[in-house]
């Protein structure tokens, strides 16, 4: 049985941990509000771009001059996976769930005989994937020194991806990130961004019978729009990741704080029982000594 001194030390240690987890929870809660606002504000723009893409793409079907970002390379041999995670831990299973989804996709593609390349966005994803798939990682980046993730970071990643596609280093690119639903739920989400396809459920604008003539033509507009579409989708994924990370961190630290409180209660009970047992033993020894005299 632990001594009174050991129990006192453990209680002090757990109380210190509880203070840290409580502070981390409050910081995450403060950051979550702004991160959620940014993610929510970006959704209408990306959804409208998806609907415009769906409308233009429907008109470009079968067009031999359609941009390669829309039509693809005509092959399905090499896949690029862009895995977005957080740079820091202490956010529950947020990072692991995204990496797990990416791993399942890798196993599936390799089982079909496809070649896989990986770009990791976020230090935690890189740390987990390099253990098994380090030879597949062709580029990595993180935002440890960035105060606030912005479009500049998304544009840098998009430029790298577009350059690789131009150099015919892959045929299909899929983006993995954590979609923010609410404080409790963050959904690991895959999204194909090259060749560009409108996500399921994307609304096509209701033209109410109107017919539009595009100047320049649809193919020319798509050539200018598609590179920006890739950057916007990556930017949206980064914002969703930031909001999801803070929500997951707040929930994880809340659980840790409550668990620490329960542990403190149990340790205090053990301490009081041990102290009472020690006092009782000392009283018995005193009484027995007095009776012996």
- Tokens (6 digits) for 290: 């007095």
Beta bridge partners of 116: 79
> Within the chain, where are the H helices?
4-60, 68-71, 94-111, 123-133, 151-166, 218-292
Q: Which of 16, 67, 84, 83 is nearest to 196 (CA)?
A: 67
In angstroms, the CA 151 to CA 155 distance is 6
∠ CA 221-223-229, rounded to 5°? 90
37 part of the active site: no
User: Could you give the dihedral angle defined by the CA atoms of residues 268, 270, 275 and 279, in that order, rounded to the nearest 10 degrees?
Assistant: 140
CA distances from 83 to 157, 192, 195, 201 (A): 11, 12, 17, 23
Considering the candidates 7, 91, 99, 219, report the single residue annotated as catalytic.
91
Sign of the torsion formed by the C-alpha atoms of 23, 253, 102 and 125:
positive
Enumerate the active-site residues. Answer: 91
């Amino acid at each position: 049985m632990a001594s009174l001194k050991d129990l006192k030390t453990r209680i002090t240690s757990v109380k210190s941990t509880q203070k840290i987890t409580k502070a981390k929870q409050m910081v995450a809660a403060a950051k979550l509000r702004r991160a959620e606002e940014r993610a929510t504000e970006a959704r209408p723009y990306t959804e409208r771009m998806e609907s415009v893409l769906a409308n233009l793409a429907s008109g470009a079907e079968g067009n031999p001059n359609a941009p390669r970002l829309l039509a693809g390379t005509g092959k399905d041999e090499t896949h690029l996976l862009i895995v977005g995670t957080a740079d820091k831990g202490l956010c529950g299973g947020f990072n692991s769930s995204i990496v797990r989804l990416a791993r399942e996709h890798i196993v599936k593609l390799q089982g079909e005989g496809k070649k896989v390349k990986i770009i990791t966005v976020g230090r935690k994803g890189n740390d987990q994937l390099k253990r098994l798939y380090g030879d597949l990682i062709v580029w990595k980046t993180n935002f440890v020194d960035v105060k606030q993730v912005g479009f500049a970071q998304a544009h840098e990643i998009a430029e790298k991806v577009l350059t690789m596609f131009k150099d015919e280093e892959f045929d299909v690119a899929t983006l993995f990130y954590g979609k923010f639903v609410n404080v409790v739920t963050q959904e690991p989400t895959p999204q194909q961004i090259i060749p560009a396809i409108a996500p399921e459920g994307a609304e096509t604008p209701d033209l109410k019978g109107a017919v539009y003539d595009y100047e320049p033509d649809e193919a020319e507009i798509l050539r200018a729009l598609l590179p920006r579409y890739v950057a916007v989708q990556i930017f949206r994924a980064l914002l969703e990741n930031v909001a999801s990370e803070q929500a997951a961190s707040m929930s994880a630290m809340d659980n840790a704080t409550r668990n620490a409180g329960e542990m403190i209660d149990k340790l205090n009970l053990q301490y009081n029982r041990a102290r009472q047992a020690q006092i009782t033993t000392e009283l018995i020894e005193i009484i027995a000594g007095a009776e012996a005299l």
